[in-house]
Amino acid sequence: MKIYLKFDFNTICKKVLQEKLDTKNLKHRVLSFGEVDFLEHVSKEDLADLASDFAEYGIEIIEDQKTALVQKIKDTLVNMVFSDEDIHVKSSVYLAEKLNHSYGYLSNLFSEVTYTSIENYLIMQRIERAKQLIVNNKLTLTEISYKLHYSSVAHLSTQFKNTTGITPSQFQKIISKRRDIANKS
């Protein structure tokens, strides 16, 4: 038997952070966008222990402010793309409002640190979301393109093919064949 799961990365990550921090008995607050505010001094040993505990979940402590802001940009874009809430503003406006910096500054910083643009990162996230929607929700390509704010199915298809090497229709067929094979087993 196979089941399909839907999960929220941010909720899972916050839960892991909360549990790991609680076991260390450190006074803290978990803030949004992967920030933890310690309400008391934390020793280097405790930070090293936390870093080790977090590493097994793919979470790392970032000490550089530029890298931390780039991570916030990524988290904000992932939240925007994977949100069930329909967000009707441009990504540039959304980022500037959420992070309290001009989009120009965020864009330059992101490119400097990651060697790619915010736009490219956003496209990658939208395509990942499209794949998830194809696999989990069985939506039509028209519904997916609308949900992800593409101007048309053709625009979605072009970006999908440029990113993955196959069209969304081909991807749907592959998923359908895999399901058929799994159901016959």
**Could you state, in chain order, the average pLDDT of each consecutive group of 10 residues for the chain (185 residues)?**
74 81 81 74 83 84 82 92 84 92 94 93 95 85 91 94 94 87 79
Whole-number pLDDT of residue 29: 80
Kind and range of the H or E element at 38?
Answer: strand 35-38
d(CA 87, CA 148): 10
- DSSP class per residue in 41-98: ---HHHHHHHHHHHHTTT------HHHHHHHHHHHHHHHHHH-SS---S-HHHHHHHH
CATH classification code of 124-185 = 1.10.10.60
Closest CA to 79 of 141, 34, 111, 142: 34
Residue with tokens 């001009």: 102
74 to 79, 80, 99: CA distances (angstroms): 9, 10, 11
Whole-number pLDDT of residue 1: 67
Whole-number pLDDT of residue 44: 82
Whole-number pLDDT of residue 124: 95
The residue length of the chain stands at 185
How many CA atoms within 13 Å lie on the side-chain side of 123?
Answer: 15
Whole-number pLDDT of residue 144: 92
Whole-number pLDDT of residue 39: 82
Whole-number pLDDT of residue 88: 79
Long-range contacts of 135-143 (CB under 8 A, 24+ apart): 135/4, 135/175, 136/4, 136/6, 141/168, 141/169, 141/172
CA 100 from centroid of its chain's CA atoms: 20
Whole-number pLDDT of residue 25: 83
Per-residue tokens: 123: 């496209």
